[in-house]
Each structure stands twice: as structure tokens, then as C-alpha cells.
Amino acid sequence: MKIYMFPNLDKANCYEYTRDAAKILSENGAEVYLSEAYSQTFSELGYISFADEDDFIPECDMIIAVGGDGTILKCSKKAAVHNKPILGINCGRLGFMASLEHSQLSLLEKLLKGEYLLSKRMMLDVKVSSDGEDTRYTALNDVIVAKSDDCKIADFSVSKNDKLISSLRADGVILSTATGATAYSMSAGGPIIEPDMECIEFTQICAHSLFARTMILSAESNVTVQCSTAQGCHVWVNVDGTNVMKLSDGDKVYVSRSRYYVYIIDIAGGSFFASINKKLMQPLKGTEEDNL
């Protein structure tokens, strides 16, 4: 079995977690590969090989992301395009997708025996139309269209299948998958959704209204967001935590179900609701780290 690892070395303890996980995998017969960019960092470990990710991912059996949910987000598109499942090893605080902790690394033996479950996660196709040009992205968590710091407030219209469903003045809007429901959308007042459900969640950010409520739309919805700002103001499009484009008045963002899916590996056997109770109902670990 060939396994490609994505470590986020900006995370505390990530080097040790990657080293220990790779050793266990190698001892159980797996071939472990990292990007050639890490060849100096892990050069002393004889059980790790190095390969270009674009060349090797199509050939590997699965991907292991070591860091947090943000690390999974960064490699999710390549995993989806090549239909490779992802296992997350958590170095962050929450880690709803990256559910394996360092104390559970011995469970990696199950990975090589095929003793695990797969959770199929819907993704979003994002098309941004600005200045007559279209740019496309893919999101696993969410798409956020929100005002920049040079705007006091902005107006947004949200349509489903070309029919207006909301016209609002707000800081922005969030369109998320069920996987992304426990991210920004939840912090903005949205509900928690079982992550393998297929839907599009529409949540308003600080809407100037007494009756702003989240809407759950069908997975077949084609959602359009159009912004209206004062002259000189802008709106940002953020895809899975990264600002990808600045919009001007009248630009549009189109969001629909992607043809790609991400498959998340669970070998620890913990339910989603147990994770919610453990990670949201109790103090977070390592508060000096960020959530991802």
C-alpha cells in the first residue's frame, strides 16, 4: 500500500506526529511518501520516501493529512479529483474531519487491514463572474461572500434557480456544505448538520434584520449571490478559508453541487455526535493554537 502524507509543519508537534505515524505505517508494510519539499526535514528517516505530489497522488492508495481540518481542506481537491480517501491526524484543537489523535496512532494498523469506514462528503462548485470573466473553484467546507474592511455594510441578493430567496443588508453570506456546518456557519448562528448529508446551507453574517435565519437548500440548488456596494467598496469571495477574489458592485458568485466528492476515513470509530459533545461542549485543548 502506498500512502502520501501532507504534514502542516506550522502546527505544534506536527513533525513528531508525522514521524511516528510514518514509522508505524512502514513497520506494517506500507510505503510512505512525502513531498520532495520535505526531503531535508525528514532526511534522517529511512522509512520515508519523497515524490512530487502531482505525479504521485494519482498512484497512491490514500492520503494522510497531519495538522487539522485546514490541512485536509488544502489537499481535498486533489484527493477528490483522483478519488483518493483522506485520513486526518489532528494537531489542532477541533479537528472534526481530522479525528485521529496522537494517542491513537496505533490504530493505523487497521488502515492497512482495511478496517475502517468511509464518510462521503459533498463538495461545492464555485463560479465567480467579475469584469466579464469567469473563475472556478471547488470547496469542501464553504464559500463566503463578505464585505471588505473598506465597507461599512453591503447589500446582497441571494437567488435559487433564478428565483430570489433573500435580499439583505449584512456583513456577508455563507454557503456551506454539511461538512462546513461546524465551521464559520455555526459561529454565525447556523445549525449543526450531519456531515454526510447532501445540502447547501445558507447563513447570513450579521444581517441588519430581526428575522435573519439560516436556510437549508437542496443539493440540486443553483445558488447565485450578487453584491451591491458603495463606490470604492469591495466584497471578498473566500473559499475554504482563503480569500480568492475581490468583487466590485454587481459581480456575481454562482454555487452548486460539485461532481467531486471527498471520502474521509474513520478508523477510531467515534460518532459525529460524540465528537460534537467532546469538542464543543468542553474546553478546547491547546488554546494557543488556531482551530485549524
The set of catalytic residues is: 69
Return the closest-CA partner of residue 126 out of 252, 289, 31.
Answer: 252
Q: In whole angstroms, give the CA distance from residue 216 to residue 270.
A: 26
CB 78 within 8 Å of CB 60? no
The amino acid present at 62, given as its one-letter code, is: M
Contacts of 266 (CB under 8 A, 6+ apart): 99, 116, 117, 118, 119
User: Helices marked H in 116-170 — which ranges?
Assistant: none
Q: In whole angstroms, give the CA distance from residue 42 to residue 34.
A: 9
Q: In whole angstroms, give the CA distance from residue 50 to residue 288.
A: 32
Parallel/antiparallel/unpaired status of strands 172-176 and 199-205: antiparallel
As beta bridge partners, residue 256 has 125
Q: In 3-state terms, what secondary structure has residue 40?
A: coil
Q: In 3-state terms, what secondary structure has residue 207?
A: coil
